[in-house]
Amino acid sequence: MVRVCHALSAKGLIAGQDGNVSVRIASDRLLVTPAGFAKGWLDPDDLVEVSLDGARVAGRHAPSSELGLHLSAYRARPDVGAVVHAHPVTATAFALVGESIPDGVLAELMLTVGPVALARYAHPGTDELGRLVSPHFVAHDAVLLANHGAVTLGRTLDEALFAMESLEHGARMIHLARQLGGVVTLETAACEALRAARRRARDDAAAGAALQETTE
């Protein structure tokens, strides 16, 4: 988690005390970043263990003010093992103009992140934010938060980090392509093939994880 926090800072996906990260460490337990710390300077001792109802179990600091957002993801999706919230510059610019990242244009984004939702604005750190974003988690691993930032989900922490990186990378490409004269949308058949490939990859990974569990 500390490595991922440092990466978010080094890659410019957060600034100052922005952003928060969590990992499911048991069916009813999470590790989450502390409130109000610069994530680029975080130490392992700073992390906070909480239960799925949000109560602190271990750690010397208060959990992230966005804990409710993270909890809403774990409650909505039992397959989710990690959540990353950041303020990626270009992707958040889309959220600032009230637009999501267009689907059906960038092959790699469709394969690695899938469709990106845009959730309505709510004040950061409130239950209202989790309530508005939660329905989008059912069918999306990446959600833009209107006038705020982005959230990505993963089965693992690396997956959630890579989704955040890919989201920003894709947003930059689409923004540049628009400046060059416009984005060409993929044909329906090409989109279907990409969606099917993503579904297969996820099913294979889920089957692999289940097999590992039964053989352990």
Positions touching Zn ion (CB under 5 A) are 149
User: Which CB sits closer to Zn ion, 115 or 149?
Assistant: 149
User: Which CB sits closer to Zn ion, 62 or 210?
Assistant: 62
Helix (H) or strand (E) holding 113: none
Q: How far is it, in rounded angstroms, from Cα 31 to Cα 82? A: 9
Q: How far is the CB of 25 from Zn ion (least distance, A)?
A: 23
Q: How far is the CB of 22 from Zn ion (least distance, A)?
A: 13
- 165 catalytic? Reply is no
Q: How far is the CB of 87 from Zn ion (least distance, A)?
A: 6
Q: Which of 66, 159, 165, 168 is catalytic?
A: 66
User: Which CB sits closer to Zn ion, 66 or 141?
Assistant: 66
Per DSSP, helices labelled H in the chain are 2-10, 67-76, 89-96, 107-112, 127-137, 157-180, 188-215
Q: C-alpha distances in angstroms, 167 versus 46, 135, 170, 179? A: 28, 20, 5, 19
**Residues designated catalytic:** 66
